[in-house]
Amino acid sequence: MVGMEVVTLTGTQNRTDRTGQPYDVVVVGGGVAGLSAALVLARARRSVLVVDAGEPRNAPAAHTQGFLTRDGTSPGELLELGRAEVRGYGAEVRMGRVVSAAAEPGGGFSVRQADGDTVRARRLLVATGLVDELPDVPGVRERWGRDVIHCPYGHGWEVRDQAMAVLGTGQLAVHQALMFRQWSDTLTLLLHTAQVPTDEEMDQLSARGINVVHGEVTGLVVTDDRLTGVQMASREVIAAQVLVVGPRFAASDGVLNSLDVAAVERQMGVGTHVQADSAGLTAAPGVWVAGNVADLAAGIVAATAAGSWTAAQINADLTAEDTARAVAEHRPSPAVVR
Enumerate binding residues for ligand FAD (CB under 6 A). 28-34, 51-58, 60-61, 64-66, 97-98, 127-129, 132, 145, 151, 154, 252, 254-255, 291-292, 298-301, 303
Nearest distance in Å: CB 30, ligand FAD:
6
268: left (phi over 0), alpha (psi -120 to 50) or beta: left
CA distance 10 to 43: 12
CB 108 within 8 A of CB 25: no
Smallest gap from residue 255 Cβ to ligand FAD (A): 5
Helix (H, G, I), strand (E, B) or coil at 116: coil
CB of 202 to ligand FAD, least distance (A): 30
Which of 114, 125, 161 has its CA nearest to residue 23? 125
Q: How far is the CB of 65 from ligand FAD (least distance, A)?
A: 4
Decide whether 32 or 243 has the Cβ nearer to ligand FAD. Answer: 32
Minimum CB distance to ligand FAD smaller for 24 or for 52: 52
Closest-approach residue to ligand FAD (CB): 31
CB atoms < 10 A from the CB of 314, how many?
Answer: 29
Q: How far is the CB of 26 from ligand FAD (least distance, A)?
A: 10
Of 129 and 197, CB closest to ligand FAD: 129
How wide is the angle at C-alpha 187 spanned by C-alphas 132 and 158, nearest 5°? Answer: 60
Decide the pairing of beta strands 148-149 and 242-244.
parallel
How crowded is residue 198: how many other Cβ atoms within 10 Å of its Cβ? 10
Is residue 273 a contact partner of residue 295, using CB atoms and an 8 Å limit? yes
Beta bridge partners of 165: 188, 243
Nearer to ligand FAD (CB atom), residue 155 or residue 212: 155
Query: Which of residues 56 and 229 has its CB atom nearest to ligand FAD in the complex?
Result: 56
Q: Quick one: DSSP state of residue 281?
A: B
Nearer to ligand FAD (CB atom), residue 55 or residue 133: 55
- Residue among 205 and 256 whose Cβ is closer to ligand FAD: 256
CA-nearest of 297, 295, 304 to 274 is: 295
Distances in whole angstroms, Cα of residue 292 to Cα of each of 185, 249, 306, 320: 31, 9, 9, 28
Which is closer to ligand FAD, CB of 304 or CB of 315?
304
Residues in contact with 73: Cβ distance below 8 Å, sequence separation at least 6, in sequence order: 63, 64, 67, 81
Minimum distance from residue 172 beta carbon to ligand FAD (Å): 16
Cβ 166 vs Cβ 187: under 8 Å: yes
